[in-house]
């Protein structure tokens, strides 16, 4: 049931009193980096003024605001800035959630290697871990499962909202607007510094996203909506809402259910990627979590981010046959054919550890459903790209999206639904990062600076006919 609580604006941020989420260990991010010990400093000589500055270095970083102290004698000089389009080398936060070493192909959630989590954990165990910093105990886990299970239903008006979309609406557009729309159903969620409100919003987003996703799938297919089945696990319930017809209880193929669980775990967080930065950036205005998370869904939709899994399949079907692969690779290299979708990563420069797991998973799925007809093309693309200097010299390797699309298609998901599956998986990461940002005393409203390149002041002279 929707909560018709206060629609009052959020309480002013009680930054110094904000309690960490239950179970959250004391984090390094609770305090600004200590003053650098003597010697841990960067000596900068400004050749414009011949002045020398000592900028403290802590945790391998300097504070960009320290650069502001470096000024010329020009009274209009507001101080030195760092210029970093697309944040290639700028840390925007201190985070204790996910660790990536892109050169070594390492990914860890709260210290646990992704390989071990994918092998042994459940998705909801990982969701708890990401938020709280430790694995749940049995009572914590049971309570968490109970809460998620009993918040899977959406308000009937949300169903009507989804029915208003055209039959050919992209499911990511439906998901994005529906997640944002939840803010209208739960106005008290705006009280983001109230721990109880934050907790229930997080539960609601984890519980209802699969329901909204499945409803959007059924809407496009023209099938009746299937309501959540509380007897099933998180993943089985999702598959039931997708595929159940007249049977009284849906029984998912266990290989598919486990594969989807692993894929959700692999996607659960990836530190400060485009969508997570969007969630943090929008959330930094202290808007409600549904609005902040919908910004993440929007960012994920893009073909350079989560939308790549969809584009991989479209690219493969355009290539059409293995014999066309060498020609296609040439068009990528010349720039005429666009990018090799599913290849390259901003952070991973040797291999994407998730892609390794997904490739193994694909083999297991293909044993059940037979080899995907496009797998041959994918393998040939991979083979040629991994031995071609264009790709190796740029450190372009298959990323997580290269094989996920083939798995999703083998499970009979339509191509434009792939990114929705990614969004369900990423939800716990967005939420953990959103909460970490809110409770981080160093964070403020996100507001980058710019290097102004426009015209200097000039007088207004209208080009319209005299009035
Ligand atoms: N195919 C061909 N060339 C590529 C590719 C690619 N997939 N990716 C990068 N390059 C080339 C660029 O043209 C550039 O070449 P240049 O130096 O000659 O100009 C060089 O490699 C560096 O590329 P950048 O764009 O600077 O790399 P960046 O780190 O900004 O981009 C990205 C990373 C967006 C992932 C990019 O590799 C890409 O577009 N890949 C395809 C889309 C994709 O698979 N996205 C999913 C990423 S994973 C995820 O979000 C879950």
Residue 22 pLDDT greater than 90, yes or no: no
Q: In what order do the strands lie in the sheet with 51-58?
A: 41-46, 51-58, 61-62
Q: Are 56 and 43 in contact (CB under 8 A)?
A: no
Residue 149 pLDDT greater than 60, yes or no: yes
Q: Are 181 and 219 in contact (CB under 8 A)?
A: no
Query: Could you tell me if residue 445 is inside a domain?
Result: no
Q: In this structure, are 295 and 203 located in the same domain?
A: yes
Q: Which residue has the tokens 């996703």?
A: 213
Q: In this structure, are 298 and 313 located in the same domain?
A: no
| Ligand 1 touching residue 265 (CB < 6 A) | no
Q: Are 272 and 97 in contact (CB under 8 A)?
A: no
Residue 261 pLDDT greater than 80, yes or no: yes
Q: In this structure, are 71 and 184 located in the same domain?
A: no
Beta strand pairing call for 51-58 and 61-62: antiparallel
Instruction: For residue 113, list its beta bridge partners.
Output: 108
Q: In this structure, are 149 and 164 located in the same domain?
A: yes
Q: How far is the CA of 344 from the centre of ligand 1 (A)?
A: 5
Query: Could you tell me if residue 450 is inside a domain?
Result: no
Q: What is the CATH number of the domain that holds 387?
A: 1.10.230.10
Q: What is the pLDDT of residue 227?
A: 97
Q: How far is the CA of 111 from the centre of ligand 1 (A)?
A: 28
Instruction: For residue 98, list its beta bridge partners.
Output: 109
Q: What's the token pair of residue 440?
A: 């981080």
Q: Percentage of the chain with pLDDT > 70?
A: 91
Q: In this structure, are 319 and 292 located in the same domain?
A: no
Q: Percentage of the chain with pLDDT > 90?
A: 83
Query: Residue 38's pLDDT band (boundaries 50, 70, 90)?
Result: low
Residue 147 pLDDT greater than 50, yes or no: yes
Catalytic annotation on 389? no
Give residue-wise pLDDT tens across range 194-243: 999 999 999 999 999 999 999 999 999 999 999 999 999 999 999 999 99
Query: Residue 39's pLDDT band (boundaries 50, 70, 90)?
Result: low
Residue length of the chain:
467
Query: Could you tell me if residue 346 is inside a domain?
Result: yes
* End-to-end Cα, the chain, rounded Å: 57
CA 180 to chain centroid, in Å, comes to 16
Q: Which residue has the tokens 């660790």?
A: 99
Give residue-wise pLDDT tens across range 103-119: 999 999 999 999 999 99
Query: Residue 66's pLDDT band (boundaries 50, 70, 90)?
Result: very high
Query: Could you tell me if residue 417 is inside a domain?
Result: no
Catalytic annotation on 305? yes
Q: How far is the CA of 304 from the centre of ligand 1 (A)?
A: 8
Q: In this structure, are 270 and 192 located in the same domain?
A: yes
Q: Which of 219, 305, 374, 416 is catalytic?
A: 305
Query: Could you tell me if residue 7 is inside a domain?
Result: no
Give residue-wise pLDDT tens across range 53-65: 999 999 999 999 9
Instruction: For residue 44, list its beta bridge partners.
Output: 53
Q: In this structure, are 296 and 332 located in the same domain?
A: no
Q: What integer best gives the mean pLDDT of the chain?
A: 91
Q: What is the mean pLDDT of residues 156-173?
A: 96
Residue 3 pLDDT greater than 90, yes or no: no
Residue predicted with more confidence, 31 or 123: 123
Q: Where are the alpha helices (DSSP H) in 88-194?
A: 114-120, 123-132, 138-149, 156-163, 171-185
Number of domain units in the chain? 3
Q: What's the token pair of residue 466?
A: 């005299």
Q: What's the token pair of residue 303?
A: 């073909």
| Ligand 1 touching residue 118 (CB < 6 A) | no
Q: What does the alpha-carbon distance between residue 453 and residue 467 come to, in Å, rounded to a whole number?
A: 32
Q: What are phi and psi of 135, to 5 degrees?
A: -70, 145
Q: Which of 267, 345, 416, 440 is catalytic?
A: 345
Q: How far is the CA of 213 from the centre of ligand 1 (A)?
A: 29
Q: Whose CA is nearest to atom 32 of ligand 1?
A: 345
Query: Residue 21's pLDDT band (boundaries 50, 70, 90)?
Result: very low
Q: In this structure, are 113 and 258 located in the same domain?
A: yes
Q: In this structure, are 161 and 291 located in the same domain?
A: yes
Query: Could you tell me if residue 459 is inside a domain?
Result: no
Q: What is the mean pLDDT of residues 295-314?
A: 93
Q: Whose CA is nearest to atom 37 of ligand 1?
A: 344
Reference 267, options 408, 453, 446, 59; nearest CA is 408
Give residue-wise pLDDT tens across range 323-357: 999 999 999 999 998 999 999 999 998 889 999 99
Catalytic annotation on 270? no
Q: In this structure, are 340 and 389 located in the same domain?
A: yes
Which atom of ligand 1 is found nearest the CA of 402? 44
Please name the residues in contact with 431: beta carbons below 8 A apart, sequence gap of 6 or more.
130, 131, 202, 205, 206, 289, 293
Taking the CA of residue 275 as centre, how many other CA atoms within 13 Å lie in the half-sphere pointing to its CB?
Answer: 29
Looking at beta carbons, which pairs linking 11-18 to residues 24 or more positions away fall under 8 Å? 11/191, 11/193, 11/194, 13/193, 13/286, 14/193, 15/441, 16/441, 18/193, 18/438, 18/439
Q: What is the CATH number of the domain that holds 122?
A: 1.10.580.10
Q: What is the pLDDT of residue 124?
A: 98
Q: In this structure, are 312 and 289 located in the same domain?
A: no
Parent domain of 258: 109-302+428-439
Query: Could you tell me if residue 418 is inside a domain?
Result: no
| Ligand 1 touching residue 305 (CB < 6 A) | yes
Q: Whose CA is nearest to atom 29 of ligand 1?
A: 346
Q: In this structure, are 124 and 227 located in the same domain?
A: yes
Report DSSP letters for 78-95, one per residue. -------GGGSS------
Query: Could you tell me if residue 370 is inside a domain?
Result: yes
Which atom of ligand 1 is found nearest the CA of 273? 50
């Amino acid at each position: 049931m929707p909560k018709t609580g206060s629609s009052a604006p959020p309480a002013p941020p009680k930054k110094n009193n904000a309690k960490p989420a239950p179970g959250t260990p004391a984090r390094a991010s609770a305090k600004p980096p200590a003053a650098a010990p003597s010697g841990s400093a960067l000596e900068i000589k400004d050749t414009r003024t011949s002045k020398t500055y000592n900028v403290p270095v802590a945790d391998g970083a300097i504070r960009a605001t320290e650069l502001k102290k470096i000024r010329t004698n020009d009274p209009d000089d507001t101080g030195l800035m760092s210029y970093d389009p697309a944040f290639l080398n700028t840390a925007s936060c201190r985070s204790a959630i996910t660790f990536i070493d892109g050169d070594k192909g390492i990914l860890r959630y709260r210290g646990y290697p992704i390989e071990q989590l994918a092998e042994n954990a459940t998705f909801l165990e990982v969701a708890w871990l990401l938020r709280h910093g430790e694995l749940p105990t049995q009572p914590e886990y049971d309570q968490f499962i109970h809460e998620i299970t009993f918040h899977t239903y959406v308000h009937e008006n949300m169903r009507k909202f989804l029915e208003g979309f055209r039959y050919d609406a992209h499911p990511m557009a439906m998901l994005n607007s529906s997640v944002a729309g939840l803010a209208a159903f739960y106005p008290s969620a705006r009280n983001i510094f109230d721990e109880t409100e934050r907790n229930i919003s997080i539960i609601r987003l984890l519980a209802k996203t699969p329901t909204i996703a499945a409803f959007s799938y059924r809407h496009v297919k023209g099938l009746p909506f299937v309501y959540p089945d509380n007897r099933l696990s998180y993943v089985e319930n999702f598959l039931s809402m997708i595929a159940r017809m007249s049977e009284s209880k849906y029984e998912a193929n266990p290989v598919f259910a486990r594969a989807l669980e692993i894929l959700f775990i692999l996607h659960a967080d990836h530190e400060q990627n485009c969508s997570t930065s969007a969630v943090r950036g929008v959330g930094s205005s202290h808007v409600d979590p549904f609005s902040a998370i919908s910004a993440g869904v929007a960012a994920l939709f893009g073909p350079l981010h989560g939308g790549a899994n969809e584009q991989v399949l479209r690219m493969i079907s355009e290539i059409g046959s293995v014999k066309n692969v060498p020609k296609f690779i040439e068009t990528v290299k010349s720039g005429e054919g666009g990018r090799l979708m599913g290849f390259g990563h901003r952070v991973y420069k040797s291999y994407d550890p998730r892609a390794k797991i997904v490739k193994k998973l694909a083999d297991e799925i293909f044993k059940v459903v037979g080899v995907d007809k496009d797998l041959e093309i994918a393998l040939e693309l991979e083979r040629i790209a991994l031995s071609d200097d264009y790709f190796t010299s740029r450190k372009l390797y298959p990323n997580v999206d290269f094989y996920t699309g083939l798995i999703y298609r083998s499970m009979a998901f339509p191509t434009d639904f792939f990114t929705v599956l990614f969004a369900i998986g990423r939800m716990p990461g967005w939420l953990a990062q959103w909460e970490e940002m809110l409770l981080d005393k160093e964070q403020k409203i996100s507001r980058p600076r710019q290097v102004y390149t426009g015209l200097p002041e000039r007088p207004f002279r209208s080009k319209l006919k005299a009035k």
